[in-house]
Structure 1
Amino acid sequence: MSNQRSFPVANSLTVGVIGLGVMGRPMAASLLRSPAASWNVVISDRGRERYSELLDSGASWAESPRRLAEQADIIVDMLPDLPQLEQVLNGPDGIVSGITTPTLLVISSTSSASGIRELADRLATETNGLLHVVDAPVSGGEDGAVAGTLSIMVGGSADDVDLALPVLRAIGTPAHLGPLGAGAIAKFCNQLIVAANILALGEAAVLAERSGLDLGALFDLLENGYAGSRVLDSRKRRIVDADYRPSGVARYMIKDLRYALEEADRTGTDAAQLRLLLDTFTDLTAHGFGDQDIAVTRAYVESKNPPPVAVA
């Protein structure tokens, strides 16, 4: 890391977390409770009173992104995408205005790989090389964030990633996969597989139920065969019970799959299934299912063609 300082040791390293939503909030909690923690945690978002449990667990509060940047050595971003990150980077109260010493920004949202690279170049120029970027999108959903067992796909220079890894290990299992943007591309691959899996489960659920099968018993059986997956394990009860309360919001797949398709086009990859999945999740959202959990693929498939009416 150019302009690299000797980072504080013991309990003086400060990790900032911004984007305290469904994923960011439990990630911050994991940082606070990590037995290997050698850092202080500072958080910033809208409405301090909403995060009393994190503050009671030892987090410090920053009144603005700038104040967070003034304190943090490493900043973990869990905002939805780069446009939301830009909102907290810029302006007199933004992160950039608070950068006075070498700082590492860890982007953990699913974002465009090319957009991340362009942003990193711009931030390096705006901060005279002080603000460095690592991309580290996560997989494992809210359950994984709460348990601290996320899979973390990391891209960046070796020096920058070495600084980030101890922090990332407190929230899951990180793997350095290549230069900046590699984490994003790995997440695209992940989302392609997850989207295909959850759509197949939705179709299988409707087919099985309309054919008179016990859906719960079927999914329990499938879990022990080649059809078993983490997606099936985490969503089988939701699909069986038609419980679509959002944990992994279905419409977010559109953004992720669109980025994946951009990368497929850039690399000349024939990704026919990816195009189909993007079209399907776009249609699913257009039909009003997008704000529900990805398990809603069952309801979406059911809505496409009602079952035939039995003739008395």
Structure 2
Amino acid sequence: MSLPEIAFIGTGIMGAPMVRNLLRAGYPVRAWNRSPDKAAALAADGARVSDSAQAAAEGADVLVCMLSDGPTCTQVLFGDHGATGALRPGALVIVMSSIPVDTATEHARQCAERGLGYLDAPVSGGERGAREASLAIMVGGTPDAFDQGHAVLSALGRPVRVGPAGSGELAKLVNQLIVASTIATVAEGLLLAERGGADPAKVREALLGGFVDSPILRQHGQRMLDADFTPGGPSKWQLKDTRTALAHAQRLGLNLPVGTLVDSLFAALVDAGDGDLDHAALIRQLRRHNHLPL
């Protein structure tokens, strides 16, 4: 039995290694990216590179969208010459971008009108998780759509259905608030260790395996110590996600004071010109705040 043909839209930092994992799993993949060179690089791995999103989607069984934000996803999927118009009847659309909850539910509605399945399936785990096919995948959609997409998603990480359409994006907002707040706390802790006269690298080492151990302490803490802010998750995207989370919380009548404070720190970091740096670069903003050298 042949595997379903996949159209993969968006082959940037996260999308490119995800395509490679799908190819390794045996899936035929047609790839498209707004910057053509990023998709062209995947030809050597076996992907068929398309010159438009609609061409990539032509007759495909599954469309995976990994674009930067909600408006971009909406335009590419449903705008003039939108990719969904080229899919075969009954195909499945999987949006793995971080987009607003309301956008995901609207996507699901439009897909249903076209006779297409829909899953919102944002991820956590960063570039490393994308490379290692170990992403945490938070999925919203019907049980039937989840069953239809489960094997494809399992080639990329660990999918868990958390509820109806939009629920995956809601879970991602929860994830991003926790990530942002933990990055801020790790940065503060390392600065406290440094200013107090301890070796911050040794403090981090001493904490590993204890109650505060986490991938963020391990990976982002090391990035902070090395001042290596090559983006896995750019700070401007972290800010986008915290802004989206806080806006959704406000619509629900919730006041999230910690998230609001951390959001303001990331906003200041981006305003200072560090938006393209990894979100671990938040330690730079805390250094500025304390008048310390970067």
TM-score normalised by the chain length of structure 2: 0.93
After TM superposition, the structure 1 stretch with the greater mean CA deviation from structure 2, 161-170 or 97-106, is 97-106
104, 111, 118: which is aligned to 2:99? Answer: 111
- Give the RMSD, CA atoms, in angstroms: 1.9
Please tell me whether residue 148 in structure 1 is matched to residue 133 in structure 2: yes
User: How much has 1:70 moved relative to structure 2?
Assistant: 1.4
User: Could you tell me which amino acid in structure 2 is paired with residue 28 of structure 1?
Assistant: V
Paired residue for 2:60?
72
Alignment match of 1:258 (pick from 233, 236, 243): 243
Map of 1:93-242 to 2, 5 A cutoff? 93-125=81-113, 127=114, 130-242=115-227
CA change 1:307–1:139 in 2 (3 A) is closer
Corresponding residue to 1:303 among 279, 285, 288: 288
- Is the Cα–Cα contact under 8 Å of residues 59 and 88 in structure 2 kept in the other structure? no
**1:15 maps to which residue?**
6
Q: Secondary structure in 1 aligned to 2:158?
A: strand
Q: CA deviation at 1:116?
A: 1.0
Partner of 2:58, secondary structure, is helix
TM-score by length of 1: 0.88
As a proportion of its length, which structure holds more helix?
2
CA separation of 1:91 and 1:83: change in aligned 2, threshold 3 A: closer
CA distance in 1, matches of 2:99, 2:186: 26
Counterpart of 1:29 (choices 17, 20, 28) is: 20
User: How much identity, in percent, do the aligned residues show?
Assistant: 37
**Amino acid corresponding to residue 55 of structure 2 in structure 1:** R
Alpha-carbon distance between aligned partners in 1 of 2:200 and 2:74, rounded to the nearest angstrom: 45
Structure 1: gaps (5+ residues)? 1-9
Q: Which digits, 9 at most, give the CA deviation of each residue in 1:96-141, with x for residues without a partner? A: 331342211101011111111122223433x3xx222210000000
AA of the residue aligned to 1:210: R
1:64 touches 1:94 (CA, 8 Å); kept in 2? no
Q: Which has the larger radius of gyration?
A: 1
**1:169 CA drift (Å):** 0.3
C-alpha separation between the residues in 2 aligned to 1:122 and 1:52?
30
For the residues of structure 2 that align with 1:45 and 1:117, how far apart are their CA atoms? 24
